[in-house]
Structures are given as structure tokens and as C-alpha cells.
Structure 1
Amino acid sequence: MYSKEEKLSLLSEMIQFAKADKKFKEQEYNFILVIASQLKITKEEVDILIEEGVEKKNLQPESQRILQFHRLVLLMNIDQETSQLEIHKIKEIGMRMGLRLEAIDTVLKKMNDYPNKIIPPKELVSIFTRFYN
């Protein structure tokens, strides 16, 4: 599904997002490690990404971009503290991914309707589908 470069790019983007508030918390690091494990990326490779990062790769198709946006929403809410900086940054990332601002705003609003702000994947897809049809 993803090339190695795309996987590293996804994780690097998550790391940069986690660092946006200048506090890279252990919960965020552990969440990123879980995603890395699912992508078959080692802890050592993640640690290198934290220090060095990698070139950003644009994801295709759109379903992969929506999945990455969902990961970022989960990461943002992992510590149950959502700052205005994080909201601004996730909107910026989503728009750079080519996602519609209306869909991004709806996701960010709807996440508050769910325990721990974890919006179910089906609801997320439903939101994006509604704004793209």
C-alpha cells in the first residue's frame, strides 16, 4: 500500500505535528510507535525521524490522505489537551493534503461528540463523502 518513503513521511509528519506545541509527550511518542509498528517501521527508525525528519511525500489516493488526517486527529487528542495552535496546525496540514476545509472543520467539531474525542472511522468517511459529492 505505502512505499517505505511514504511510511517515513507519514510518521515524520506526525512527529512534526506532535512537536508543534513544543511539548513532545510520551503518550504522543508511544502512539507514533504503535502506528510505526503497524507500518513495519522500527523504533530506531522513528527515533532517527525525530532527530532528522524526511522529505514530505504527497499521498495518493485521497483515501490515504483521509486516513493520515484521522491519525493526526487521534494524535492531537491523545493527551486530551487540544490547543488552538494544534487546531490551526491540523487545518493547515489537512488543506495542504488537499482535503476540503469544510470537511476538516466538521471533523474537528464532531470529534467532541465522542468519548475521548475519538471519531469512528465510518463517521469520518461519511463526513468526507458528504463534502465531496
Structure 2
Amino acid sequence: MINRVEKLSLLSEMISFAKTESNLKPIEYNFLLAIAKQLDISREDFDYLIDHPINYIHLESHSERIVQFHRLVLLMNIDNEHTPKEVAKLHNYGLRMGLSQESIRKVLYLMESFPNKIVPPDVLIDIFKVQYN
């Protein structure tokens, strides 16, 4: 289980990812607020992170990094729009998390074939499991 500082770091990373034009779209804000609630982070702490990001903390758990990557994929596709720049940014986030480049590429390729570009969790896990073994 991850601690509070790691949770805040994950959330801060997601906010940074979503803030492409310096502001969050309402749909992104609501999605991130829901993630904050799942992580037991208060709305006040979440709102504070929007203007005061914290440093990235590398997660030790490979499975937690996969979950975080999945959250970022969902966030990128929440408004059914993404640019090549956003895809490249997501790819780089995955690499920084220490995930397999081949797995990241496969997820980004396969997401185009799913409704709303949402890769089901079991498919995503299978992709990373193949590379992890």
C-alpha cells in the first residue's frame, strides 16, 4: 500500500499531466477529484495541489506504477480528444515510471481500437505482465 506522500505525488503528477493549457477542464477536474477521493485525499488538499505541485516520488511497486499509467491513459482520453503531443507526454511519463517501452507502445497502439479509447484493466495488466516476466 502506498503512503500519503506517494498518493499526493501521484495526484500532483496527474494534475500536471492534465494542465496542458494551464487550466483544468471541468471534466478533468471532476475525474481527478474522483481519483483523489479513491486515494483518501481531501478536496482541500486536492485543490491545493492544483496550484502547488509536489515533487515526483517513484513508486516501488510495479503494480502501482501500472495502475498509475492506466489512470493517465484514462485521463488523457476522458474528453475523447488527444494530440500526438499528449501521447508523447504519456509515453514519457510511462518511461519515467520505469515501465517497459514495448508495453507502453502496445497500450498506446491498442487504445485506438477500444470504445472511447479506454483500455480495459485486464488487457492492460496482461500487456505489462508479458513484459515483466
Query: Under a length normalisation based on structure 2, what TM-score does the superposition of the two structures give?
Result: 0.96
User: 1:88 maps to which residue?
Assistant: 88
Measure how far apart 1:131 and its partner are.
Answer: 1.9
1:24 maps to 2:33 = no
Q: Secondary structure at the match of 2:55?
A: coil
Unaligned runs of 5+ in 2: none
User: 2:43 maps to which residue?
Assistant: 43
Distance across 1 between alignment mates of 2:76 and 2:60: 23
CA-based RMSD: 1.1
User: Where does structure 1 differ by over 4 angstroms across 4 or more consecutive aligned residues?
Assistant: none
1:103 maps to 2:103 = yes
Measure how far apart 1:17 and its partner are.
Answer: 0.2
User: 1:124 maps to which residue?
Assistant: 124
Q: Is the 8 A contact 1:27 1:78 kept in 2?
A: yes
Distance across 1 between alignment mates of 2:8 and 2:47: 11
Distance across 2 between alignment mates of 1:112 and 1:82: 11
Equivalent pairs, count: 133
Distance across 2 between alignment mates of 1:70 and 1:129: 14
Unaligned runs of 5+ in 1: none
- Percent of aligned positions with the same letter in both sequences? 52
Which stretch shows the higher mean deviation, 8-17 or 51-60?
51-60
Measure how far apart 1:20 and its partner are.
Answer: 2.8
1:113 maps to 2:80 = no
Query: Under a length normalisation based on structure 1, what TM-score does the superposition of the two structures give?
Result: 0.96
User: 2:4 maps to which residue?
Assistant: 4
1:53 maps to 2:56 = no
